[in-house]
Chains A and B, each alone.
With several copies, the nearest count.
Chain A
């Protein structure tokens, strides 16, 4: 039942912001680390708010929001070390943030100027993958590469490497998701499969995907499955960190189910009022990941006005960066699309490039007899 807390869920912070103990998981963070997490949460939510606004203003064709999932993403994202690799879906803006990606690079996708505006090698953040679950086998393969490089179990914290692959609750139904788990198990790959169960796959509740809690899938292939409160940034950090440490030390894969909620629409093309109740959303609003963490920080006396004012200013600056930046994202040059399908020339592509270049040039040359006929209007932004 969406809303009720499931059994056995790791929690370190209650929705009221009370710090609780867990027998297996803990995090001991310095005040500045705690404030750092808070900053991440606030800023990634601000990215989301701003992107939604930009979509409404027509600057983006589409936006897939993360509202409500900030803790799962920041908690897991901050558990990564620089040398680790992350394989996101299309919604991990918070993870991208933790990997040092300028959110403008993400906006490129949703504005339609590119399929992804960051360097996946430099950031060790794979391109967003829209085909659900398709990033997981590559994540496992990458982890198998890490193994072959001897970058597991050396004890050197700067060397030992893990991989994290993200997926949604709906994506667990894809056969490839099962294969990924199984390959991870069979090869004992240093990988964490991190599932954000946000209760919905567009209009389908998680009960359409499975009859039992998702993390149980891991048992079936002999991989530890952990259920964590996805709205609790400390629990997400603790659980993911433990899973990554296990992977890096050669202990093998872990499946994490972060129990959370998609507070907004699936994307800006979606209308969630068609399939779910306001009451359900209210239940989850009371578990908001940022509210609870703020209450905790307040109760610890860590949030002072200087900090919140500075953070507010930083968020405003970030928003302005996006507003200004999105309009300045370079429009793709028509001929640029020919550049990257292949590393080495491909006869047909080169021929098409030349023909198309000549065709485009024929308009510049403005031959007698006229302008190019108009393109039919496109109906932009109607779909996800």
Chain B
């Protein structure tokens, strides 16, 4: 059971998928010779050739648009968008074509396309490199949206995403790329947790904290800190954003009576609002306090030297926990 950084776990997952199915292709900018700016595709062009690992022209609409055509011809393209803020040139292809072609053709067309998007902040980078646009994709029917928080999930979820007959937007938490974790590579795709289930990653009785991608570790750190003060946080790693596994969170909230949702994306219009609305609807009589949200502010992602203030940190999570407990 190797101990892999999250980026390497995705690399291994891509490799396994490519070995299993010759129709799996990788497409993107600098993913071939260079192995991607985060080295997630390192070594794959060397081993699988240029026909299966394509360095593309610098055009995101082109990447997604041609991936659609390749999928129609039976391929399973996995597209890398170099950074979160550069996905918008492809937005038309994603929203009007990729997401809708199945419905438009009454299920006659299948679009097994994966879009890998590094997202989130905390790496001290420049504009457009640290954003969290997942809510924009979650609102678009026809897409599935998931994000792993650990190396093990990264390894398996990328394979599940590739195996999905539906288009999947796969958000990779940038600042966790170098976090290591054990990966059980001997299991099979059927054995591991389903792609669209949330997971309780820490048990606790006082407040449920729901997080995904980069904020899962943050929630766990907050839980450690809270435990020192005697507050037991239950941490749920959502894993899947569309569909949203409301049931797993509701089950937890029915026990704790309190929920704090944490994501890096701006709170306003973010995924947390949707979860809050659904949990409140389902658990209205169990809730001891309103669902609270901790997220980015309704601001363009700021310059790197101020991002620690923009991003939810342990303290802001704990502050919300305190407010929830005080309600």
> Residues of A with Cβ closer than 8 Å to B?
61-62, 85, 90, 108-116, 119-121, 126-127, 129-132, 134-146, 148-149, 163, 170-171, 173-176, 179-180, 182-183, 186, 201-204, 208-210, 269, 274-275, 331-332, 334, 336-344, 346-349, 352, 356, 359, 362, 372-376, 378-384
The answer on a CB contact under 8 Å between A131 and B85 is yes
Q: Which of A137, A173, A275 contacts B66 (CB 8 A)?
A: A137
21 chain-A/chain-B pairs, Cβ below 8 angstroms: A115-B104, A115-B106, A130-B128, A137-B69, A141-B72, A142-B72, A145-B70, A174-B89, A175-B62, A176-B61, A180-B62, A201-B29, A203-B55, A209-B57, A275-B34, A346-B298, A347-B246, A378-B122, A379-B124, A383-B38, A384-B37
Known: A173-B57, A176-B61, A352-B298. A141 touches B67 (CB 8 A): yes
Known: A202-B34, A348-B298. 9 other contacts (CB 8 A): A90-B126, A112-B303, A112-B304, A173-B62, A204-B30, A208-B55, A347-B196, A348-B268, A349-B297
Interface hits, B105-162 → A, CB 8 Å: 105-110, 122-129, 141-142, 144
Q: A127 and B30 in contact (CB under 8 A), knowing A112-B303, A379-B122?
A: no
Please tell me if the beta carbons of A202 and B29 are within 8 angstroms of each other in the complex: yes
B295: nearest chain-A partner, CB-CB: A352
Q: Which of A90, A183, A348 has the most CB of B within 10 A?
A: A348
CA distance A44 to B129 in the complex (A): 27
Assess the A112–B246 pair: CB atoms within 8 A: no
Report the Cα distance A381→B221, complex, angstroms: 23
Interface stretch of the complex, out of B184-192, B251-259, B315-323: B315-323
Give the distance to chain B from A247, nearest Cβ to Cβ, in Å.
14
**Which listed residue (A110, A204, A348) contacts B58, Cβ 8 A?**
A204
Among A201, A208, A356, A373, contact of B225 (Cβ-Cβ < 8 Å): A373
**A202 contacts B123, CB within 8 Å?**
no
Q: Does the CB pair B30–A343 fall under 8 Å? A: no
Query: A383 to B85, alpha carbons, bound, how many Å?
Result: 14
Docked pose: A11 CA to B129 CA in angstroms? 39
Whether B165 is near chain A, meaning CB under 8 Å from some CB there, is yes
B58 A132 Cβ-Cβ under 8 A: yes
Taking A111-B305, A112-B305, A375-B314 as contacts, is the C-beta distance between A344 and B37 under 8 angstroms?
Answer: no
A204–B302 Cα distance when bound, in Å, is 30
Contact (A383, B61) CB under 8 Å given A134-B96, A341-B103: no
Q: How far is the CB of A132 from chain B (nearest CB, A)?
A: 6
Q: Is B3 an interface residue (CB 8 A)?
A: no
Is there an interface contact between B125 and A274, defined as CB atoms closer than 8 Å? no
Complex: chain B residue closest to A145, CB-CB: B73
How far, in angstroms, from A332 to B32 measured CA to CA in the complex?
A: 38
Taken together as a complex, chains A and B put the C-alpha atoms of A203 and B59 apart, in Å, by 15
Binding-face segment, B13-21, B199-207, B237-245, B283-291: B237-245
| A203 CA to B245 CA, complexed, in Å | 40
Total contacting residues, chain B, CB less than 8 A: 98
Whether A175 and B89, one on each chain, are in contact in the complex, defined by CB atoms closer than 8 angstroms, is yes
A355: shortest Cβ distance to chain B, in Å? 9
B86 at the interface (CB under 8 A from A): yes
> Across the interface, do B57 and A186 meet the contact criterion of CB distance under 8 Å?
yes
Q: Does B65 sit within 8 A of A, measured CB to CB? A: yes
Which residues of the partner chain A approach B313 to less than 8 Å between Cβ atoms?
373, 375-376
**Given A134-B93, A145-B75, A378-B175: A343 in contact with B107 (beta carbons within 8 A):** yes
Give the residues in chain B near A359, CB-CB below 8 Å: 316, 319
Q: How far is the CB of B221 from chain A (nearest CB, A)?
A: 6
Chain A residues whose C-beta falls within 8 Å of the C-beta of B97 in the assembled complex: 129, 131, 134-135, 138
For B93, the chain A residues whose CB sits under 8 A away are 134, 137, 176
- The contact of B104 among A127, A139, A343, by CB within 8 Å, is A127
A144 to chain B, nearest CB (A): 6
CB neighbours (8 Å) of B66 from chain A are: 137-138, 140-141, 144, 183
B residues near A341, Cβ cutoff 8 Å: 102-103, 141-142, 298-300
Separation of A201 and B49 alpha carbons in the complex (Å): 21
Top-6 shortest CB links A-B? A141-B69, A137-B65, A145-B73, A112-B304, A380-B124, A141-B66
Q: Are A131 and B174 in contact (CB-based, < 8 A)?
A: no
In the complex the two chains form, what is the Cα distance from A384 to B128 in whole Å? 10
> Smallest CB–CB gap between A347 and chain B, Å?
4
| Centre residue among B88, B101, B104 by max chain A CB count within 10 A | B104
B166 contacts which of A143, A332, A343 (Cβ < 8 Å)? A343
Indicate whether A332 sits within 8 Å of B306 (C-beta atoms), given known contacts A127-B109, A140-B66. yes
The answer to whether A144 touches B38, judged by C-beta atoms less than 8 angstroms apart, is no
- Mask, B47-67, CB within 8 Å of A = 1, is 000010001111101101111
- A376-B268 contact in complex given A173-B58, A342-B166, C-beta closer than 8 Å: no
Establish whether residues B29 and A376, one from each chain, have CB atoms under 8 Å apart when the complex forms.
no
Cα separation A269 to B123 with both chains bound (whole Å) = 13
Chain B residues 70 to 108 lying within 8 A of chain A, measured CB to CB, are: 70-75, 83, 85-86, 88-89, 92-93, 96-97, 101-108
In the complex, residue of chain A having the shortest beta-carbon distance to the beta carbon of B228: A373
Asked if B210 is at the interface (CB within 8 A of a chain A CB), the reply is no
Residue of chain A at shortest CB distance from B306? A332
Complex contact A348–B244 (CB within 8 A): yes
Residue pair B126, A130 in contact (C-beta under 8 Å)? yes
How far is it, in angstroms, between the C-alpha of A61 and the C-alpha of B304 when the chains are bound? Answer: 9
Measured between beta carbons, the chain A residues less than 8 angstroms from B32 are 203
For B268, what are the chain A residues with a Cβ–Cβ distance below 8 Å?
348
- B65's partner among A119, A121, A140, A275 (CB-CB below 8 A) is A140
Q: Does B180 contact A (CB under 8 A)?
A: no
Q: Does B170 contact A (CB under 8 A)?
A: no
Report the nearest A residue to B313, measured CB to CB: A375
- Looking at the assembled complex, report how far the CB atom of B163 sits from the nearest CB atom of chain A, in whole angstroms: 10
Q: Which residues of B contact A115 (CB under 8 A)?
A: 103-106, 126-127, 303
Closest to A161 in B: B73
Query: Do residues A137 and B62 form an inter-chain contact, with CB atoms below 8 A?
Result: yes
Contacts of A171 in B (CB 8 A): 58
Q: Which B residue's beta carbon lies closest to that of A383?
A: B125
Q: Which residues of B contact A176 (CB under 8 A)?
A: 61, 65, 89, 92-93
Chain A residues in 8 Å Cβ range of B305: 111-113, 331-332
Q: How far is the CB of A197 from chain B (nearest CB, A)?
A: 13
Q: Which residues of B contact A274 (CB under 8 A)?
A: 33-35
Q: Which residue of B lies closest to A362 (CB)?
A: B319
- Is A348 in contact with B65, judged by CB distance below 8 angstroms? no
